[in-house]
Structure 1
Amino acid sequence: MPDDPTTQARAGQTRRRGATLETAILHAAAAELTEHGYAGLTMDRVARRAGTNKNAIYRRWPDRLALGIAAYRQLATTIEPPDTGALRDDALELLRRANRHWSSPLGAVLRELLSAAGGAQSLVAHLPEQSTDAMTAMWLTVLGRAVARGEADPSALHPRVATVAIVLLRNEFVTRGMPTAPDEVLIDIVDEVYLPLVRSRAPR
């Protein structure tokens, strides 16, 4: 007697290997993150949703946090740096984008992941918006254009200087626990800290 469709489907699922199975797990974990947040992410639920078992997940990700970070990467999008023609406007746009994202439901997931990761920079670096290389590259691009226009001192083209504004905004969320930052805070960061710093660098 031939197998019924349900049996055949289950058999097909058990034969999944490699990238196909990994993709199914990540899609399932991303859906769980979207619906329940990191607090509601469990290996059992992801396994059921992906039609696999927990062992298959643990072979790829050692714990719930590693899986959560990998799943978040499926949900994040890549953005291009703004090019308004003015450093102040570019910096404000970058901060406003970050503020909107960190204030959104997906941003809430990001904050949960950052809190869970603590000081584990090796894990935090896998989060798209928190990757030191990606974040620095975007701010250096914006600042480099400003230097070319004569709006900023060339000596400001240093990673720590370029990213001061976004680091200060991130502190509003991570350190102070704010659900969102008022626009006047963003303007204050740019006008009172960032622009004076990059326009007039003290000699070494």
Structure 2
Amino acid sequence: MERKRSDEKSRRKPSGAAVPRAELTAALYRAFFEEWAERGFSALSLERVAARAGAGKAAIYRRFSSRLAFADAALSALGLGIALPKPERATLEEDVFDLLLRIRAVLRHPLARRILPDLHAEAARSPEMRAINDRLAEARREQAQNLLDRAVRRGDLPEMIDRDLALDLLVAPLYWRMVVRGQTPTRAELMVQSKAITAGLKASIGDVGRT
């Protein structure tokens, strides 16, 4: 009987100072975004975040030193998920359409629609949040950079293309429609957007790149 109790004890999972579990970290991220969407970053409470995740506040401070550090980690994880590489399509227009579909999938999430405007407002007031927002934007733009690289290799776009302008043009119409105006375009509307964006990339930006 004693040996059985000893065996059970040896099989127990460590607690307290145990290595942070990935599933708990994911639950904390979800709770953080829910709290942010509901109350805004300025009124966000780490105690309420912990309660939403079914954890103690110590679980947060074992991982993150502050609300800003928490936001940085959570948004970085989201940015990396958005920037995962996707298969190359046959044409620039198909690549653009595929990119718009994936961005729409992110922006149509109700939490994203409520958090992003607040994130931009906080970034306008806080240099620290501005740095976090810039890193997230860079992760998003990296995926679009790959799209431009493929287009240049195929000869669809000139090597001297104005990349900053091109990256803005790729995502700005959809972002304006969904985040600023609160509308979700249909698949057919995305196809029209992709045609217009592709035409703009090949015409206006191509001419700038050759001057």
Same fold (TM over 0.5): yes
Q: What is the alpha-carbon distance in structure 1 between the residues aligned to residue 31 and residue 106 of structure 2?
A: 19
1:73/1:147 CA distance change after superposition, 3 Å: closer
More helix by share: 2
Q: Percent identity?
A: 20
1:82/1:195 CA distance change after superposition, 3 Å: farther
Describe the superposition over 1:100-133 as per-residue Cα deviations: whole angstroms up to 9, x where unpaired. 2110245336535534534343121343xx3x2x
Name 2:38's counterpart in structure 1.
39
Name 2:130's counterpart in structure 1.
121
Q: CA RMSD in A?
A: 3.7
1:190 equivalent to 2:194? Answer yes
Q: What is the CA distance between 1:99 and its match in structure 2?
A: 0.8
AA matched with 1:189:
Q
Q: What is the alpha-carbon distance in structure 2 between the residues aligned to residue 161 and residue 121 of structure 1?
A: 22
Give ranges in structure 1 of 5+ residues lacking alignment: 1-8
AA matched with 1:137:
E
Q: Which runs of 4+ in 1 moved over 6 A?
A: 22-25
AA matched with 2:30:
A
Q: What is the alpha-carbon distance in structure 2 between the residues aligned to residue 88 and residue 68 of structure 1?
A: 35
Name 2:158's counterpart in structure 1.
153
Name 2:144's counterpart in structure 1.
139
1:67/1:104 CA distance change after superposition, 3 Å: same
Contact 2:97 2:190 in 1 (8 A): yes
Give ranges in structure 2 of 5+ residues lacking alignment: 1-11
For residue 50 of structure 1, give the secondary structure of its aligned residue in structure 2: coil
Q: What is the alpha-carbon distance in structure 2 between the residues aligned to residue 164 and residue 123 of structure 1?
A: 22
